[in-house]
Amino acid sequence: MTRVAIVGAAGRMGRMLIEAVASDDQCALGAAIVKLGDNLLGVDAGDLVGVETQRVKLTDDLAAVVNDFDVLIDFTSPELTMKHVELCRQHGKGVVIGTTGLSADQKNTLAKAAEETAIVFAPNMSIGVNLVFKLLEMAAKVLGDDADVEVIEAHHRHKVDSPSGTALKMGEVVADTLGRDLEKCAVYGREGYTGPRDRETIGFATVRAGDVIGDHTVLFACEGERVEITHKASGREIYARGSVRAVKFLADKQSGLFDMQDVLGLK
């Protein structure tokens, strides 16, 4: 039985994670962390979402419960995530990270931390999205440089980073397969007189509106035909289920930096 800690437990994603952990017979909720001074401090996590769990009270002090869990799930902010990773590194705890918007330096810090503890880091924990990553690799190999590639994504009005981490990962998969450097070939939006499209570029278009959970399409446009690979999320529970699968993957891992492709055996 793997004991799981959830940070951001009082939020929408946190509550879904509590439910997902409680419903899995290989996991148990060990700790539930909320923001400092949250008015739900001391509330039982199971009562919060109406499920049966071991009696776990919401706390705002991760360090105080570090002995109560084996793997931490983190969907917070880059700054908070890095603090949590450092604490887990010091205590040999596994970490599943779904936080987006990490900088290159922060990703390098994750890689160093993974030399001492096991980490799954993925911009999207959805099993379907990670299957799409594999399909994108296949499409890029087949279509090669004959296709113009565009990534179109839509999310709810409250999402703060753009493009989404998932969209960037999709671009990275295609760029790596085609032998390109995404930092050099990415085009983020177009306006005015831009001239003819450069075939080597990978374009990104972003929509922020309403309550869209997450839509992603990668368009491969060739002369005479086009291929579109799309994933649409209809509920956030897909991220919770994928996260629990990642937790179980880490159960026997002592160190290493992994992603959902590793978790799903797609590599």
> So which residues are the catalytic ones?
155, 159
Q: Which of 224, 221, 215, 122 is nearest to 173 (CA)?
A: 122
Burial class (CB in 10 A: 0-12, 13-18, 19+), 113: buried
- Structural contact between residues 177 and 202, judged by C-beta atoms closer than 8 angstroms: no
Query: 202 — phi, psi (to 5°)?
Result: -125, 115
CA–CA dist 7, 11 (Å, integer): 9
List 205's β-bridge partners, or say none. 152
CA–CA dist 260, 120 (Å, integer): 7
DSSP tally for the chain: helices H, then strands E = 9, 12
CA distances from 197 to 149, 171, 190 (A): 11, 17, 11
Q: In 117-223, where does DSSP find H-type helix?
A: 127-143, 165-177, 182-185
CA–CA dist 14, 175 (Å, integer): 33
| Cis, bond preceding 163 (omega within 30 deg of 0) | yes
Chain position carrying tokens 């179980």: 248
List own/partner pairs for 182-191 with CB under 8 A and 24 or more apart: 188/163
